[in-house]
Amino acid sequence: MLGQMMSQPLLISSLLVHAERHHGDREVVSRRVEGDIHRYTYRDLSKRARQMANALAALGVGHGDRVGTLAWNGYRHVELYYGASGSGAVLHTLNPRLHPDQLVWIADDAQDKVMFFEISFLPLIEATAARFESVKHFVLMADRSHMPEETKIPNLICYEDLIEGASDDYDWPSFDENTASSLCYTSGTTGNPKGVLYSHRSTVLHCYGCALPDSTNLSARDVVLPVVPMFHVNAWGMAYAAPMVGAKLVLPGPALDGKSLHDLFENEGVTFSAGVPTVWQGLLGYVEEHGLGFSTMKRTVIGGSACPAAMLEVFEKKYGVNVLHGWGMTEMSPLGTVCALKAGQDALDIDEQLKVKALQGRAIYGVDMKITGEDGEELPWDGETTGELMVRGPWIMQSYFNRDEDPLVYDKAGNGWFPTGDVAAITPEGFMRITDRSKDVIKSGGEWIGSIDLENIAMGHPAVAMAACIAAPHPKWDERPLLVVMKKPGKEVTREEMLALFEGKVAKFWIPDDVVFTDEIPLGATGKMQKNKLREEFAGHVLPTV
């Protein structure tokens, strides 16, 4: 017997329809590439998204066609999120920090039909337009006064002209909720990036998951500022979740430096934010230096890479901001776990709470997880045993886009689990702790050493800006940990002081064999340390033998 409830499909357009109807006056505030602050409401956004849907149709964009964007977090980008996906096209957000050759490759792999881009990327598109073979139209996301007088880009269209010329009379179409909605490429460190193709259903379900109390706890009373870019896994769902709950949305544009962010936080009354540790480091540095604080910010999600314990402590103890450590990946839409305390844990003293909050967190409903050993057997949740982290759920990828020759990305044991490539332990209470990326694990005499714990300890030293622990070749143990340290400007610390930090905190054989100081630790396009580059750079490093 079937239930007798309406089977209305879960569609992205419904999020905006809801926001317009129930939160029409709520503001969307954007810092523009042009330099000024733009403000309008969900009502205005909805109207322009409908105009965009009509405009895309006029450009010949049909159901399933890919619409590329090279854009920051801003209202025009949100209009495309809804205008493209809502009309049945596929929004493809490209990461402008990638190398131009990679961007051309990705646009070709995706067969993007239109490319929207912001003024910041005009030189990039000028230099590469002829190589984007599938792209029929280039649209500059600006008004007429910012259009270049001369350009090599063929038939360059002005975004505001495009909107102005389109009617706002548009009924969002209804279709199968499993229809593709958006496409995002992983920033793989080796080989070409791979596309993850989200559906309307996966996106809307992820959005519900995102807003749950023990996830981000978003509500109509919140003011949300996603620092995480809209080109990196859909800003972790924020551009969908904010309209869903009626939160005010504040978008920082290209200005991600400490001062610009802090100004926006304070001027707009931001209560909730989300970003990677490297961005928070810049913000905290600015706030510390100028003796400032956060007068409205209550909580923030930090994820994308491990949140250093020292950062967690400053946010919580000094500024009273509740840090929610989160873990996820492009293939997971991205949210997998969030570290919200369980019953009773809020009675722990602050230092004990911080120990829990440093873990990557608990699976939110919709994500199932387990750790497995080399033979695929499930390993115990004892907080110590580590194994490969496997996940499954309705917003987790089944197979990569366009990879027919390599369809199998999950299901090693035939059970429908996606192998994340992360190595983790899980406590009996269900809190997961990432110890490493499997390709970054240091294998010393057959034992695994987790680089993230060592980096966390190193980052606790006040003179350390960033630290990476990598495997260095060793004649007896195969590999031993080598600590690479980037100091804060004007600060000093010695090799011996660094090594002394580890005494008593980790097993003796985990302590790095050596420390090297470097001017720069390379970061990838999404702000993660590129340890493969460091391994290449220090491949010839000779470890001391005693």
Q: Rule CB under 6 A: which residues touch ligand AMP?
A: 186-187, 233, 303-306, 325-327, 329-330, 334, 360, 420-422, 434, 437, 526
**How far apart are CB 232 and ligand AMP at their closest, in Å?**
7
Minimum distance of ligand AMP from residue 307's CB (angstroms): 6
Q: Distance from first CA to last CA of the chain, Å, rounded?
A: 73
Q: Residues 462-476, buried b or exposed e (16+ Cβ, 10 A)?
A: eebbbbbbbbbbbee
Beta strands in 78-179 (DSSP E): 90-93, 112-117, 137-140, 157-158
- Across the chain, which distance is largest between two alpha carbons, in Å? 76
Nearer to ligand AMP, 102 or 420 (CB): 420
The one-letter amino acid code at 506 reads V
Known catalytic residue at 186: yes
In the complex, the smallest distance separating the C-beta of residue 276 from ligand AMP, rounded to whole angstroms, is 8
Residue 199's beta-bridge partner residues? 180
- Nearest approach in angstroms of CB 370 to ligand AMP is 16
Q: Is 331 a catalytic residue?
A: yes
Are 26 and 42 contacting, i.e. CB atoms less than 8 angstroms apart?
yes
Nearer to ligand AMP, 109 or 422 (CB): 422
CA distances from 54 to 79, 80, 112, 139 (A): 12, 12, 18, 15
**Is 448 tagged catalytic?**
yes
Residue 173 amino acid letter = P
Closest CA to 327 of 431, 399, 184, 460: 431
Q: Are 50 and 13 in contact (CB under 8 A)?
A: no
Minimum CB distance to ligand AMP smaller for 233 or for 458? 233
Length of the chain: 546
Contact (Cβ atoms closer than 8 angstroms) between residue 476 and residue 444: no
CA distances, 163 to each of 63, 142, 168, 321, 504 (Å): 20, 11, 9, 40, 63
Tell me how far, at minimum, the Cβ of 60 lies from ligand AMP, in Å.
32
Spatial separation of the C-alpha atoms in residues 228 and 235, rounded to whole Å: 5
- CA angle at 195 for the pair 194 and 199, rounded to the nearest 5°: 155
Shortest reach from residue 454's CB to ligand AMP, in Å: 13
**Half-sphere exposure for 527 (CA within 13 Å, toward CB):** 20
Cα separations (Å) of 364 from 105, 148, 337, 388? 35, 47, 6, 19
- DSSP character string of 164-190: HTS-S--PPP---TTSEEEEEE---SS
Chain-centre distance for alpha carbon 281: 16
| Candidate list 69, 93, 179, 186, residue with the active-site label | 186
Smallest gap from Cβ 388 to ligand AMP, in A, equals: 11
Q: Which residues is 39 bridged to in the sheet? A: 29
Cβ atoms within 10 Å, residue 421: 14
Q: Taking the complex as a whole, how short is the minimal distance between the CB of residue 434 and ligand AMP, in angstroms?
A: 4
**Catalytic choice (79, 177, 268, 331):** 331
CA pair distance 251, 230, nearest whole angstrom: 10
For ligand AMP, the closer CB: 184 or 284? 184
Half-sphere exposure of 92 (CA within 13 A, CB side): 26
Query: Min. distance of Cβ 302 from ligand AMP in angstroms?
Result: 7
Q: What is the bridge-based pairing of β-strands 27-31 and 248-251?
A: parallel
Q: Which long-range contacts (CB under 8 A, 24 or more apart) does 387-390 make?
A: 387/423, 387/424, 387/425, 388/419, 388/420, 388/421, 388/422, 388/423, 388/424, 388/438, 389/419, 389/420, 389/422, 389/423, 389/424, 389/432, 389/434, 390/417, 390/418, 390/419, 390/420
Closer residue to ligand AMP, CB minimum distance, 170 or 327: 327
**Which amino acid is residue 260, in one-letter code?**
S
Considering beta carbons, is residue 38 or 437 the nearer one to ligand AMP? 437
Least Å from the CB of residue 162 to ligand AMP? 31
> What is the closest distance, in whole angstroms, from the C-beta atom of residue 473 to ligand AMP in the complex?
23
What are the Cα distances from residue 331, in Å, to 79, 194, 256, 423, 505? 24, 10, 25, 16, 34
User: Is 384 designated active site?
Assistant: no
Q: Indicate the residue among 243 and 419 with the shorter CB distance to ligand AMP.
A: 419
Choosing from 105, 448, 477, 537, the catalytic residue is 448
Q: Out of 317, 342, 443, 491, pick the active-site residue.
A: 443
Active-site positions read: 186, 331, 443, 448
